[in-house]
Structure 1
Amino acid sequence: MALAPKLGHSLARLRRARFDQAAYAQHALAIAHAVAAMVHNTQEAGDDHRDTPEEDRNKLPRNAFRLWTDFEDENAGDGIAKPASGNSRVREESEDGYRVFTRAYDREVRAAELVRAALLREYRERLDKRIAGQGIHVARLARQLKALLAVPTREGWDGGQEEGHIDGRLLAQLVASPTERRLFRVERHEPVAHCQVNFLIDCSGSMREHIESVAMIVDVLVRALEQADVASEVLGFTTGAWNGGRTRRDWLRASRPANPGRLNEVCHMVFKDADTPWRRARPDIAALLKADLFREGIDGEAVAWACQRMQGRGEGRRLLIVISDGCPMDGATHQANDMHYLDHHLRQVVTQLEQTCKQRFLAWA
């Protein structure tokens, strides 16, 4: 009796939830119930076969009861392995810091250009149906976001007050009506969300199975943020190819120099920029549902790129929300350097930006 079909999903989720005790308990309980049911069924089957001749029992396959635990392959074909976090020996020994073998094939592209128009319409309809089924009150969400992000800002004066600053324009009324007391004015403060929120979405293979839910959440949040007068962008990052693509081929032709640094083509995608309203960006956001955009991930460079896009704008507050599996992964880069090369760079980029920039980082893994 193979256990993977019965326990595989719960065990994989158990591993992912090891830092969330509430979620961990739910998956552990599901496993316990499944195991109890299988033990009960096995005992009943054993009772049925007690009279089975010895030679017939010996014919049962030796692998009839086994557990498949290689959950790294649950997304077969993704080409994604999740390395543990750690410091890169290559980075620590290099005087040049983070290296890139070549940027000749890197690109920044509008995501809608990578998807046929008819397919975009189909994706948008699918996304709209999913959102409609959730019954989300976008206006209420917008009010909540505005209350969260807005700060009191002076927006002028309210005159005709009985206390405050003397309003020189009304002093003549005091002569005509000595009992008049509404000769003052006070500053008027209103909540203003002078803020920009950027969503940076990891479009690596391991995120593919979650992307429909992610697209739905991001689409609703962008719409609500716009109603709250908050600028927003939806960005994504992937690679231009699997296994290094043209960059790796150039490296091979160059006789494989040691420690080449990043060894793949970076592809940064813009699903919505800050100047485009949600209604016009709706088809572009739906491009998130195109599965073959999801390859590998160079997280550190993507975070730096997303922050750089916010630098030239005038908003006083900047918030970057990174939606990622938290594991930078590029097979060619890891093979030519070491397994922690990209993870080390990501942590270095975030630390540096937090110290030198005004952005606030939120990570949703």
Structure 2
Amino acid sequence: MNDKIDNLKEKFRLALTSTAKVISDDFDLINKSSENEKKQNLQSVEIDNLTKPSDFIKLRAETDSSALKKKFSNEFIYKKNLPANTSSRSLYSIAEKIRYEALGGKMLKGIEKNFQQNYSHIINTKRKDQLKTKEDVPVTEAFELYMLKNFHQIKLNPLTTKMLNFWEKDFEQSIEKHKKFLQENLENQNNYSSRFSQILEEMNIFQSEEDEEKKEDNQDQEQDNPSNDDQDKDQEDNKDENNDQETQATLDADYNVDEFNLDEQLSDTESDEQSSEQIVQKNLDNINLDYKIFTTQYDEVTKAEKLENADEAAKLRRTLDQQLVGFQDVITKLANKLQRQLLAKQNRAWNFDLEEGLLDSSKLPRIIMDPYNSLSFKKEKDLDFKDTIVTLLIDNSGSMRGRPITIAAICADILSRTLERCSVKVEILGFTTKNWKGGQSRELWNKNSKPKTPGRLNDLRHIIYKGADTHWRQAKNNLGLMLKEGLLKENIDGEAISWAYNRIKKRKEERKIMMVISDGAPVDDFTLSVNSGDFLEKHLKKMVKFIENKTEIEVLAIGIGHDVSRYYDKAIKITDVNELGDVMVSQLSSLFETKKNFTKD
């Protein structure tokens, strides 16, 4: 009987770990070896004390939450936007946890069901005998109920409704006007967390606590100077207090959003890998520290299909197709050239005389001559280019209007189709701003008495025309949207490169190539009018140098009518946009012939 129970437990553990791997996109999640590692990994999920159905529901929900945190939550962004007011940080942590759980619920109905059942059980088992004032309900508990109600759509029972009622007006007063923005930006952690941090900093619920602290500080300062013995004692007390504060600050910044802490468990077992990643991340953080941004609250990362309705997108695609007619011969030639080069490599790369695989017909005569000979099989080798992702980052600035952006869209279309046939993933991204000359960021700057050297002062718009895992047929209409009237404005290249880098570095492919198509230097008139003239250029140069020298990502830039070699090591200048397709294909082809040798310092 015990063997049967143990077998069921093991099956349940395997089901949990398999689910976590799929959700988190980390298929090495449980491939650990040492005993110490096993203690910290999902194989050690405590299932011996599961006695009630609610225990199973809780464990499933916690596992889902931890895997979603690994998939959707970036620790650097989390820490970067931590509220300065330490009292707000517990609420900030709850808000982040609800964000990635809500994303998971949208992704899979099973995840949503697990959260619904678990939170409903927690709510229905809450017991509060005395609920007369706000003081009887901790603010963190009320805030979690508020977030569950508004972002998870969890139904509250009469008791939890009463608990929330004490605080709901306070929350609504601060959050209601931002609710639509937060719900629309669940996928953009930086926008969501920076906005939530701002909301929490401005919440009145913490002001009384801060006032009390200031009052106590003033009382301490008014006291007479203590004796030497008292001073020594005070110094010791202060030292202990500082240690406590440092410990608390560390805990606050340790990114412990949930109880299960999946990625915290993995941190020790992957210390060598993470240490090199941390060095890279530290270098990137230093670059971004030198680059000032006035506000990110109006920035936007959007899928292209959200910029226009389906009918207009189809119409713009037809316009692009009409342009393609004149390039049909060139397109066919370029596509065939690239495909021939890649597939030729593929056809030459076989392993022979294997015990399994495809039957090697060339060895059949020996079987006919001697039936006792064993069959021979062959298998195609795994090639670098088949485990490759190419990101096309296209400048969507106003100076690209007309023929340049049309050619860029056509070439993106050609490469996407061609590389897909060769098993190479392609992501197509665009970058511009939402407004000319500052937009809402400028208005906010004006309202804040126009501080000097405010940093970047415009509203970014980063566009995903085609995701790496999206098939060309599903995204083909999106590419026509590059021709949308009024889309092309200003270009802040450094942040666009950073955004594209953060997307591609998360991919599992071994080979990562970024191709940037631009027509010159970064330009945002209003930002440059209130900062140094080389403010945007300096950030772009630092960002590109970092990717080229400190990461495994290969960067290639094509300048249309302008030499961009002062920014990129590998840069090609074309004077006629008609050359773009041929240059893109030939440069990609040469990249596939050689691979970047990279060694982390």
Which bracket does the TM-score occupy, shorter chain normalised? 0.5 to 0.7
Per the alignment, residue 440 of structure 2 pairs with 246
Corresponding position: 1:227 with 2:410: no
CA distance in 1: counterparts of 2:435 and 2:326, whole angstroms: 35
Task: Tell me how far 1:149 sits from its aligned partner.
Answer: 5.7
Does the C-alpha gap of structure 1 residues 359 and 348 become closer, same or farther in structure 2, counting only changes over 3 Å? same
Question: TM-score, with normalisation over the residues of structure 1?
Answer: 0.64
From 281, 284, 298, the counterpart of 1:105: 298
SS of 1:291 mapped into structure 2: coil
Per the alignment, residue 405 of structure 2 pairs with 211
CA distance in 1: counterparts of 2:437 and 2:299, whole angstroms: 15
Q: Aligned AA for 2:495? A: E
Q: Aligned AA for 1:103? A: T
Task: Tell me how far 1:313 sits from its aligned partner.
Answer: 1.4
Does the C-alpha gap of structure 1 residues 260 and 224 become closer, same or farther in structure 2, counting only changes over 3 Å? same
CA distance in 1: counterparts of 2:352 and 2:380, whole angstroms: 5
Q: Aligned AA for 1:311? A: K
Corresponding position: 1:115 with 2:308: yes
Gaps of 5+ in 2: 1-286, 356-366, 560-601
Corresponding position: 1:189 with 2:375: no
Per the alignment, residue 532 of structure 2 pairs with 338
Task: Tell me how far 1:356 sits from its aligned partner.
Answer: 2.0
The number of residues matched between the two structures is 259
Q: Please identify which structure carries the higher helix content.
A: 2
SS of 2:486 mapped into structure 1: helix
Task: Tell me how far 1:190 sits from its aligned partner.
Answer: 6.2
Does the C-alpha gap of structure 1 residues 124 and 256 become closer, same or farther in structure 2, counting only changes over 3 Å? same
Per the alignment, residue 73 of structure 1 pairs with none
SS of 1:280 mapped into structure 2: helix
SS of 1:271 mapped into structure 2: strand
Task: Tell me how far 1:203 sits from its aligned partner.
Answer: 0.9
Does the C-alpha gap of structure 1 residues 137 and 213 become closer, same or farther in structure 2, counting only changes over 3 Å? closer
From 368, 390, 394, the counterpart of 1:201: 394
Gaps of 5+ in 1: 1-93, 161-172
Task: Tell me how far 1:326 sits from its aligned partner.
Answer: 2.3
Task: Tell me how far 1:139 sits from its aligned partner.
Answer: 6.7
SS of 1:282 mapped into structure 2: helix
Over the aligned positions, Cα root-mean-square deviation in angstroms equals 3.1
Q: 1:238-290 CA deviation, whole Å, 9 max, x = no partner? A: 11111111111111111121111111111100111111111111111110001
Aligned pairs (5 A) from 1:322-337: 322-337=516-531
SS of 2:557 mapped into structure 1: strand
Q: Aligned AA for 1:255? A: S
Q: 1:16-66 CA deviation, whole Å, 9 max, x = no partner? A: xxxxxxxxxxxxxxxxxxxxxxxxxxxxxxxxxxxxxxxxxxxxxxxxxxx
Paired residues of 1:124 and 1:286 also in contact (CA < 8 A): yes
Corresponding position: 1:305 with 2:512: no
Question: TM-score, with normalisation over the residues of structure 2?
Answer: 0.40
Q: Aligned AA for 1:104? A: Q
Paired residues of 2:335 and 2:414 also in contact (CA < 8 A): no
Q: Aligned AA for 1:120? A: A
Q: 1:280-323 CA deviation, whole Å, 9 max, x = no partner? A: 11111110001301111110000111111111212111111111
User: Which of 118-127 and 97-106 deviates more?
Assistant: 118-127
CA distance in 1: counterparts of 2:470 and 2:288, whole angstroms: 42
Q: Please identify which structure carries the higher strand content.
A: 1
CA distance in 1: counterparts of 2:534 and 2:334, whole angstroms: 40
Per the alignment, residue 586 of structure 2 pairs with none
Corresponding position: 1:237 with 2:431: yes
From 302, 321, 324, the counterpart of 1:131: 324
Corresponding position: 1:294 with 2:488: yes
SS of 1:353 mapped into structure 2: helix
Q: Which has the higher contact order (CA 8 A, sep 6+)?
A: 1
Per the alignment, residue 512 of structure 2 pairs with 318
Per the alignment, residue 142 of structure 2 pairs with none
Paired residues of 1:142 and 1:227 also in contact (CA < 8 A): no
Does the C-alpha gap of structure 1 residues 337 and 146 become closer, same or farther in structure 2, counting only changes over 3 Å? same
Q: Aligned AA for 1:279? A: R
